[in-house]
Structure 1
Amino acid sequence: MTEKTLVLLKPDAVERNLIGNILTEYERNDLKVTDMKLLQASSEMAEEHYVEHKGQPFFNRLVSYLTRSPLVALVLEGEDVVNRVRTLNGTTDPEESGDNTIRALYGLSLSENTVHASDSPESAARERSIWFA
């Protein structure tokens, strides 16, 4: 059964002209882009996206980062897509990500790690409703 997940190419990826490179990684791994848009995230969208981190000391930095410049929201489809995308992305910290993961290749730091991917089918559905309302 094919599933869908949400991916964000965060502002640092867009600022550094990495959209095509990152999309290529997903597509060459047999994942299909079914929806995509470039947008400027509002504070409200970013706060809703990161709602589970509200109250944490880093919450405002997350919101500032996601809203500082345009990002790309996309929906990917494929077999076991949530797990496959998270494996392709690598761990949150690019320094600890496996070789040839998107974050190891393109991430700048723990706070500027280039991509976001939903962590479950339920999160994917919730996050798609934020970015593709």
Structure 2
Amino acid sequence: MQRTFILLKPDCVQRRLMGQIITRFEQKGLNFVAMKMLRITPDLAKQHYAEHVEKGWYPTLEGFITGGPVMAAVVEGLEAVKVVRDMLGATSGLNAVPGTIRGDFSSSRQMNLVHGSDSPEAAVREIALYFEESEMCEDTPTISKWMLAADE
């Protein structure tokens, strides 16, 4: 099993889409092992988006991500990083195909509802920014035997 980080951004929270998006991940067979609501501080935003801090558009990104509550979560499943990224669709909702989260609910590059880690290494780093190991609620849902073959 692989873990990845997802962040339901302020636009997702404000548009009341959290439930629909969480449902999509659960229907895909991903397990939520940690989840919490919070407000991202400017300091946490700089840590999370460290590779973008020096870019001219960063202040707009920081203003957006700190502008309202978010929901941070860790999900687990086979190839979770890739599965989540595929479910999200292209970064810009304008380019995301229908059927993806962004393709169905977003028409913006920045207000694209959900962040998902782009690699296993990024997932480890981002999870550590938002969660302590003690906050992980590991469990194997009883439905798991109907979602994956025993040798997967």
TM-score, normalised with respect to structure 2: 0.85
Q: Which residue does 1:46 correspond to in 2?
A: 45
Q: Which residue does 1:36 correspond to in 2?
A: 35
Partner Cα separation in structure 1 for residue 41 and residue 107 of structure 2: 23
> RMSD of aligned C-alpha atoms?
0.8
Partner Cα separation in structure 2 for residue 103 and residue 31 of structure 1: 18
Q: Are residue 120 (structure 1) and residue 119 (structure 2) matched?
A: yes
Q: Which residue does 1:107 correspond to in 2?
A: 106
1:108 Cα deviation (Å)?
A: 3.7
Aligned sequence identity (%):
38
Counterpart contact for 1:9–1:19, Cα < 8 Å: yes
Q: Which runs of 5+ in 2 are unaligned?
A: 133-152
Counterpart contact for 1:108–1:114, Cα < 8 Å: no
Comparing 50-59 and 68-77, the one that deviates more: 50-59
1:118 Cα deviation (Å)?
A: 0.3
1:99 Cα deviation (Å)?
A: 1.2
- SS of structure 1 residue aligned to 2:87: helix
Q: Which residue does 1:60 correspond to in 2?
A: 59
Partner Cα separation in structure 1 for residue 110 and residue 29 of structure 2: 28
Q: Which residue does 2:6 correspond to in 1?
A: 7
For residues 7-52 of structure 1, give each alpha carbon's deviation from its aligned partner in whole angstroms, at most 9, with x where no partner exists: 0000000001111000011011011111000001111111110001
Equivalenced residues, count: 132
- SS of structure 1 residue aligned to 2:94: helix
- Structure 1 outlier segments of 4+, above 2 Å: none
Q: Which runs of 5+ in 1 are unaligned?
A: none
| Paired AA for residue 54 in structure 1 | V
Partner Cα separation in structure 1 for residue 6 and residue 23 of structure 2: 14
TM-score, normalised with respect to structure 1: 0.96
